[in-house]
Amino acid sequence: MNIQTSARLFAEAQKYIPGGVNSPVRAMKGVGMPHPLFINHAKGAHIWDADGNEFVDFVSSWGPMILGWGHPDVVGSLHAQVDRGTSYGAPTELEVELARLICEAVPSIELVRMVNSGTEATMSAVRVARGFTGREKIVKFIGCYHGHSDGFLAAAGSGVLTLALPDSPGVTKGTTADTLLVEYNDIESLTALFDERGDEIAALIVEPVAGNMGVVLPAPGFLEACRELCTQSGAVLIFDEVITGFRVAWGGAQERFGVLPDLTTLGKIIGGGLPVGAFGGRRELMETVAPLGSTYQAGTLSGNPLAMAAGAAALRALSEPGVYERLEKLAREVAEGLTAAAAKGDHPFTLNQVGPMMTLFFCEGPVQSFADAKQADTAYYAQYWRHMLESGIYLAPSQFEAAMISLALSEDDITRAAAAATAFFAG
């Protein structure tokens, strides 16, 4: 496959951008590529790189493009707005419309504040929880990613109840000292932590379906335990639905699994492909946010008219009858095709899926935690990924990410992906 233009663009990019990319996972280092592919354009469920190579896309820009590229309502909303002004730094009707759609869709959200990224959303939600409770500790789960604000860049230290250590230069010990880490789905350790330190805990933040260690499902009772322990201790339960929001159901994972958090963070899909994030939840919590309350949070481009227009158009398209049934059907067909293909090979594998997000792990199942996920054969994943790329299928360039299904996938796209996978595993 000719990727010379990407090679040239990468050489140029490295002159000006650290690592030649604006986000590390795009570097494609996890799959043994000499350099990332530079994308030229996309339409529907297809994406073209700078050398004109066409791929069926299963990344969806890491989630936002659930409708595919070029949805007429989303593009139309941007064309209608762009000549009216791209940013005012003032309230607009557009942000009221998107806020209304979110409050009506997400069961636990009574008030919502728009921001510009998932990182901003989770950072702000934790601040609200700390301000509301007057407490300082936060609980997060090993393998969950909530963006790159300091308190979340914490690695498991040693000790029975895992104290966190900085997981990046520049993150201070003081910051991560307020972060307590537990294995995902480990209800026993979580309960022990709350028994011992519940009165210090401001918030527990969790991906209700983990997507950043590859897809890992909540074990039966896990989300309910998070809910109950927070209720009992007075800690704030935060569902980080930046991926799952409007993906696994119209009302997100909280609707699909029937557990309501106190705060929810959103991103990706709600911006229709434009930069966006949001945090929202129970009125008594959100009323503490400035200027109504005293917990400060702000942003020059928060509620940006283009992002609001595209996001509202995307949510209106997703609110149409039968959309999520169709998404589930497409996802089921993709999962069945990949599973049948992998079964033709001799490498251990297990597929974790919640509707339109899934990961094919190359290890024995079950994969129910980051410790399990780390058993996956990343070298084999890299071989699989490169084979699929050469076959015109664009997968997430990491074993520890999710395949994100879009409504733009055709039956032919799904058949092509299954055939390419079969050729790899049976080959």
> Residue 212, interface with ligand KE4 (CB under 6 A)?
yes
The residue count for binding ligand KE4 (CB under 6 A) is 19
Q: What is the smallest separation between the CB atom of 58 and ligand KE4, expressed in angstroms?
A: 14
Residues 223-262, mask of contacts with ligand KE4 (x by CB under 6 A) = -----------------x-xx-------------------
For ligand KE4, the closer of residues 315 and 420 by Cβ is: 315
Known catalytic residue: 88?
A: no
> Residue 211, interface with ligand KE4 (CB under 6 A)?
yes
Known catalytic residue: 240?
A: yes
> Residue 272, interface with ligand KE4 (CB under 6 A)?
no
Catalytic residue among 145, 184, 324, 381: 145
Listed ranges 40-48, 114-122, 181-189, 419-427: which one lies at the site for ligand KE4 (CB under 6 A): 114-122
Residue 209 half-sphere exposure toward CB, CA atoms < 13 A = 28
Known catalytic residue: 394?
A: no
Instruction: Report the interhelical angle of 411-426 vs 378-390 (nearest 10°).
Output: 130
**Where is 96: in which H helix or E strand?**
helix 93-105
> Residue 208, interface with ligand KE4 (CB under 6 A)?
no
> Residue 58, interface with ligand KE4 (CB under 6 A)?
no
For ligand KE4, the closer of residues 241 and 333 by Cβ is: 241
Q: What are phi and psi for residue 151, nearest 5 degrees?
A: -65, -20
Q: What is the smallest separation between the CB atom of 415 and ligand KE4, expressed in angstroms?
A: 27
Region label for 323, one of left (φ > 0), alpha (ψ between -120 and 50) or beta (otherwise)? alpha
Q: Please, which residues have CB within 8 angstroms of residue 300's CB and are 6 or more apart in sequence?
A: 87, 89
Among 44, 118, 166, 245, binds ligand KE4 (CB under 6 A): 118
Q: What is the smallest separation between the CB atom of 400 and ligand KE4, expressed in angstroms?
A: 9
| DSSP secondary structure code for residue 343 in this structure | T
User: How many angstroms from the chain centroid is the CA of residue 296?
Assistant: 25
Which segments of 266-344 does DSSP mark as H helices, in order? 283-286, 305-318, 323-342
Q: Using CB atoms within 10 A of its CB, is residue 348 exposed (0-12), middle (13-18) or buried (19+)?
A: middle
Q: What are phi and psi for residue 202, nearest 5 degrees?
A: -80, -40
Report the interface residues with ligand KE4, using CB under 6 A: 23, 25, 62, 117-119, 122, 145-147, 207, 211-212, 240, 242-243, 267, 277, 401
Residues involved in catalysis: 145, 240, 268
